[in-house]
Amino acid sequence: MEYLPEADLNGSYINESERNVHVWSSMVKACSHDSKNFFKKPTLGLIAGCYIHDGWLPVSMLYNWLDRIMRLEEPEIGNMALFRCPMDPRKVSFQVGNIACPGGPPLQNTPTSMVQEGHYMIYRYNKELNSFVPVWPQLITAKFKRRSPSPSQTCTPSPSRTLTRCCVVTGQAAVQRARGGNFTGLEVAHIFPLMGVGIPEWTATLSASTRAQVLTRQAADRPFNAILLRADVHSLFDDYQWSIWFAQGIPKIVRFEKSGATALKGCQVRNLRPSNLNTTAPCSMELLDAHLTIALLTHVRGFGKRAVAGFNATLL
């Protein structure tokens, strides 16, 4: 596990002001805070963080998000356990080693319980010991370049405009006129970026079946990989400041940082379920789910700092 010098056991970390939920390792390690491996000192692992908007962050959703950005030593379904910390763990004088499990039960993995603001530690349930054991999870490597606008001559615009004729998020509709709709201010957004076709950093997040949908640029440049968005919402979508989470089958907008995609406050996702689309070629739910995974790896994982070549945003 690698360490970044933005913070230490007693300090703040980059993007901390953008979050009110912080998830930490349940172990403390002696980590070097410089490139020469000098001055090792006790270090907590920062696993993830996010901001609760409008009081809505189901516990089951947080567990799912963590499962997408990290791996435990012995992965088993249901063996992850989050415990609420009574105080900021950086204010406790921990020594190198395991951190005793806080009192009380872990957060129950249900869609009806909501996460509260604060600090949490993650443990793993050991069936043999019948107890929760400390962990230092391995974060999934993720390096994504910023998305670039697709050329205007791509194939998707006309077919995709006919799917909803309005922004699927804000509801802003194209102005109707005799010679055809006026789509000024509305843009077709690719769900999976065309620049990511064939690039391992992008395709590694996809399942085999989803990867098959975007094997080539021509295959990816189709209506199933597109949604109609207002221009500013499109830019925020390409920056992964918001994504779509299907809460018990109902699509909902999710934002990850305090200042992220503030223009979408109060907006609802429209016409995304196949049953609601009057078309034989709805957008791909699998690609939308892949967009969410990349958003989590970009804004929730570790520091929430975009990774670039030569930079690993992993743990504190």
Q: CA–CA separation, 275 vs 293, rounded Å? A: 24
Strand partners, 226: 190
pLDDT value, residue 256: 96
Residue 99 has pLDDT above 50, yes or no: yes
Percentage of the chain exceeding pLDDT 90: 44
Residue 1 has pLDDT above 50, yes or no: no
Residue 262's φ and ψ, nearest 5 degrees, are -65, -20
Half-sphere exposure of 156 (CA within 13 A, CB side): 28
pLDDT value, residue 75: 55
Q: CA–CA separation, 80 vs 95, rounded Å? A: 24
- Report the predicted TM-score, pTM, of the whole model to 2 decimal places: 0.86
Task: Tell me whether strands 118-126 and 21-31 are parallel, antiparallel or unpaired.
Answer: parallel
Length in residues, the chain: 316
The pair of three-digit structure tokens given for residue 118, joined into one six-digit string = 């604060």
How do residues 187-228 score in pLDDT, each as one tens digit? 999 999 999 999 888 888 888 999 999 999 999 999 999 999
Q: Concatenated DSSP letters for the chain?
A: --B-TT--TTS--TTGGG-SEEEEEEEEEEE-SSTT--S-EEEEEEEEEE--STT--BHHHHHHHHHHHEE-SS--TT-EEEEE-SS-GGGS-PPSEE-PPPSSPPPP--SSSBPPSEEEEEEEEETTTTEEEE--PEEPP---PPP-PPPTT-S-HHHHHHHHSB-TTT-PBPBP-TT--B-TTEEEEESS-GGGTT-HHHHTTS-HHHHGGGSSHHHHSSGGGEEEEEHHHHHHHHTTSEEEEEETTEEEEEE-STTTTGGGTT----S-SGGG-SSSSPPPHHHHHHHHHHHHHHHTBTT-----TT----B-
Q: Concatenated DSSP letters for 255-272?
A: E-STTTTGGGTT----S-
Q: Which of 150-154, 171-175, 247-251 has the lowest mean pLDDT?
A: 150-154
* SS3 per residue for 151-171: CCCCCCHHHHHHHHCECCCCC
How do residues 259-283 score in pLDDT, each as one tens digit? 999 999 888 787 665 544 444 467 8
